[in-house]
Amino acid sequence: MAIDEKKIAESVAWRPGGAVKRAEQALMAEKSRVLRPFGLTVPQYAAMYALSLAPGISGAKLARLCSVTPQSMATVLKTLESRGLVERRPSSDHAQVLVTRLSRAGQALLRKADAEAVAVERRLVDAFTPDEIALLRELLERAVVVLAGTGHDDGADSF
Amino acid sequence: MAIDEKKIAESVAWRPGGAVKRAEQALMAEKSRVLRPFGLTVPQYAAMYALSLAPGISGAKLARLCSVTPQSMATVLKTLESRGLVERRPSSDHAQVLVTRLSRAGQALLRKADAEAVAVERRLVDAFTPDEIALLRELLERAVVVLAGTGHDDGADSF
DNA sequence: AGGCGTACATCAGGGCTTTGATAGTTCGGG
DNA sequence: CCCGAACTATCAAAGCCCTGATGTACGCCT
């Protein structure tokens, strides 16, 4: 067997998209690993982290900060709320929005989990020179612009 | 309102992980968009593409090629099979493995879908110089090594 | 004041992904 | 010869994520 497995693997992997995918996967895997002891998933951690920076934000805004849809954020928040890590209550001035904040337990858990999560990013950053990190970020941002700017014509960049 | 929204957004986005995540997301979103008319999701397309390069491969190997778990690949293949795009039959020499190949309809659909998918990657590649692409790939691969090489000690690299 | 556009939350449905566990197959060493 | 290691497929349970569609609340503009 093994038709040409090596060759095939290369054919599949050569696309830039594959490299991005694998990097994202590796990142998620590693973060999941360090977050698991706290019973948190990566999206849950991300939501709590954003929430620590912007207490009382609406679910929709939180979703935008975390780059997910409001629906995804809703499910994440629902589980977090069921565990008592966040609290949601109707806003006083906007009957429609639910004000969300970390509970005390949530803050305490986040503090510990954040240390681990930051350590992962740090391991990553430390493996490169500052120039390389800046370059990587710049290239990725450019890729986002190219990809997002095609097709539905958001404009915003041209001119 | 808008506590410091700008600032917050930056705080969330500064981490290298965020850049990778957004790039991957933009890529997925754009690929999904061009694949939608064919009724294919990105994982489905990826599986069919790999299958076109390695006809009759086992589900487990296919999963490895696509960088997903065998379970994920199983669900993908199940839907593809239910649509008659792939065919699975027990192997003659390995009673356990299911030999999977594209059906004629699958081949035809892949040919059309692939053109669109390749065009997306091409738009991406064309936005950079060859040097930049190579650099991006190199940096990402290095990130994968750093992240994957920590914690569970696969070894394999350190002499 | 009434209407329209914007924003928020949520329901419904389809898919992907992961961890954990079960079970049959193949092959090689003891 | 039998057993264990490696591989394959699959079930089950939890979550996440997306598209599409509803219903409601706010604010501005006419």
Say whether the CB atom of A32 is under 7 angstroms from strand D. Answer: no
Q: What's the pTM?
A: 0.87
CB contact under 8 A, A124 and B16: yes
Query: Sign of the CA dihedral B114, B119, B121, B125?
Result: positive
pLDDT value for B159:
34
Say whether the CB atom of B83 is under 7 angstroms from strand D. Answer: no
pLDDT value for B151:
56
pLDDT value for A2:
47
User: What is the average pLDDT across B87-97?
Assistant: 84
Q: How far is Cα B95 from Cα A67, in angstroms, rounded to an integer?
A: 45
Convert the pLDDT of each residue in A76-104 to its tens digit: 999 999 999 999 998 777 878 899 999 99
Cβ count within 10 A of residue B72 = 14
Convert the pLDDT of each residue in B113-158 to its tens digit: 999 999 999 999 999 999 999 999 999 989 998 888 765 544 443 3
For nucleotide D26, give the residue with the nearest CA to its C1': A94
Q: How far is Cα A47 from Cα A95, in angstroms, rounded to an integer?
A: 23
Nearest to A39 by CA among A82, A101, A87, A89: A82
A124 touches chain B (CB under 8 A): yes
Nearest to B18 by CA among A142, A61, A67: A67
Shortest distance between the Cα of A68 and any Cα of chain B, in A, equals: 9
CA B39-B62-B47 angle, to 5 degrees, is 15
User: What is the average pLDDT across B52-68?
Assistant: 92
Cβ count within 10 A of residue A52 = 15
Is pLDDT of A47 > 70? Answer: yes
pLDDT band at A75, cuts 50/70/90?
very high
% pLDDT > 70, chain B: 85
pLDDT band at B4, cuts 50/70/90?
low
Nearest to B78 by CA among B115, B112, B43, B116: B43
Nearest to A139 by CA among B25, B131, B146, B128: B128
Q: How many Å does it take to go from CA A70 to C1' C8?
A: 9
Convert the pLDDT of each residue in B7-25 to its tens digit: 666 666 667 888 898 899 9
Residue with tokens 């965020």: B18
B119 touches chain A (CB under 8 A): no
Nearest to B148 by CA among A117, A31, A107, A128: A31
* Average pLDDT in chain A: 86
A24 touches chain B (CB under 8 A): yes
User: What is the average pLDDT across A69-80?
Assistant: 95
Is pLDDT of A156 > 50? Answer: no
Q: How far is Cα B15 from Cα B25, in angstroms, rounded to an integer?
A: 16
Tokens of A151: 């097709």
Tokens of B133: 């692409």
